[in-house]
Chains A and B, each alone.
Chain A
Amino acid sequence: MASAYLTHQQKVLRLYKKSLRHLESWCIFRDKYRFYACMLRARFDDNKNEKDMVKATMMLKAGEEEFWANQHPQPYIFPDSPGGTSYERYECYKVPEWVLDHWHPSEKAMYPDYFSKREQWKKLRLQSWDKEVAQLEAETSAGGVRTEALPPARKEGDLPPLWWQFVTRPRERPT
């Protein structure tokens, strides 16, 4: 996402998706849900070529109000999504990678290949850190940071900024 504001199209698509999900929670039988989903899609399709943005925004607002009135009290939420049963369940097992440096040498000796490669990666990180910081400082606008999105690497042979955090992120499901 480029900026913090959503475009009209993005808002419409989000309304469509959440209304379909709540419709799925209401109509538990698949054929019934399919029928009403097609009706809803037809309603969205009728008005999709509206060029007048004022009217389109009014329709979106009416749609959001209709969604609020007809939403399901306990919609189906996927286990891993916020509000679901297994959301952040394994968060406590996601250990940061710097813990590996605190291992005892006898434990490190059990994985010699990995730790030797790890030294090379750390050297690479040291080398590229200054360039990453310089790139970030150059690309941040004067008013401060607007979004969490990081810019990609601009020059050839350069690594994207803050790549270490991304590359050494813990697994989604730690073993």
Chain B
Amino acid sequence: MAARVLQQCVRSLARPSLRLCPVSAALRAAVAPAVGVHRPVSFAADSRRTRWLGQSRISSVVVLCRQYGDLPPLTLETIKDRVMYVLKLYDKINPEKLQETSHFMKDLGLDSLDQVEIIMAMEDEFGFEIPDAEAEKLMSPEEIVQYIADKKDVYE
């Protein structure tokens, strides 16, 4: 309910901004609160007029909604790009030979300890833990991408 009252106040403030310059300054001064000295009133009216003129070019709709912070949404392409980027940074992998379907042990000649390190790098990159039971089965970048997409509800 307070939001509705606030919205009405905002609308009443924003309404004069829809009018353009021909409106007389006297009207603006009348709208402005009655301050004692004459000059500050006119100055205030001027500043308010210029401010409203500036605002009249922009739409003055204020939507009161909560804004939470979050990461940008993941897509399959971004997941794949990030996974390949991290893998190319790993020094035991030859970046030319790396494909999406290349198996870590058979094609790239890596060790199981290397695979653990790769999975840990993926956990650090995406910010969530991959349990050991499922991590030991992920043996190619494609499987990693599918697993992350499964966990993060991407194109489910």
Binding site for B on A (CB under 8 A): 1, 9-10, 13-14, 16-17, 20-21, 41, 44-45, 48, 77-81, 84, 171-173
Of B113, B119, B151, B153, which is in contact with the most chain A CB atoms at under 10 Å from its CB? B113
Binding site for A on B (CB under 8 A): 111-113, 116-117, 119-120, 123, 127-129, 131-133, 135-136, 151-153, 156
Is B152 touching A172 in the complex (CB atoms < 8 A)?
A: yes
B65 to chain A, nearest CB (A): 16
Is B153 touching A13 in the complex (CB atoms < 8 A)?
A: no
Is A45 touching B113 in the complex (CB atoms < 8 A)?
A: yes
- The residue that A80 contacts in the complex, of B117, B128, B156, with Cβ under 8 A, is B128
List the A residue with the shortest CB-CB distance to B128: A80
Note all chain A residues with C-beta closer than 8 A to B152: 172-173
Task: Kindly list 17 other residue pairs between chains A and B, CB separation below 8 angstroms, not including A13-B113, A17-B119, A20-B120.
Answer: A9-B112, A13-B132, A13-B136, A14-B132, A16-B116, A17-B116, A17-B120, A20-B117, A21-B120, A41-B117, A78-B128, A80-B128, A84-B129, A172-B152, A172-B153, A173-B152, A173-B153
Distance, CA A45 to CA B112, complexed state (A): 11
B115 to chain A, nearest CB (A): 8
Distance, CA A9 to CA B116, complexed state (A): 12
Contacts A1-B133, A81-B128: A13 and B123 contacting too (C-beta < 8 A)? no
Of A9, A13, A21, A45, which is in contact with the most chain B CB atoms at under 10 Å from its CB? A13
B48 to chain A, nearest CB (A): 42
Is B127 touching A13 in the complex (CB atoms < 8 A)?
A: no
A134 to chain B, nearest CB (A): 28
A54 to chain B, nearest CB (A): 21
Minimum-distance CB pairs A-B, first 4: A81-B129, A78-B129, A171-B153, A80-B128
Contacts A14-B132, A16-B116, A44-B113: A171 and B156 contacting too (C-beta < 8 A)? yes
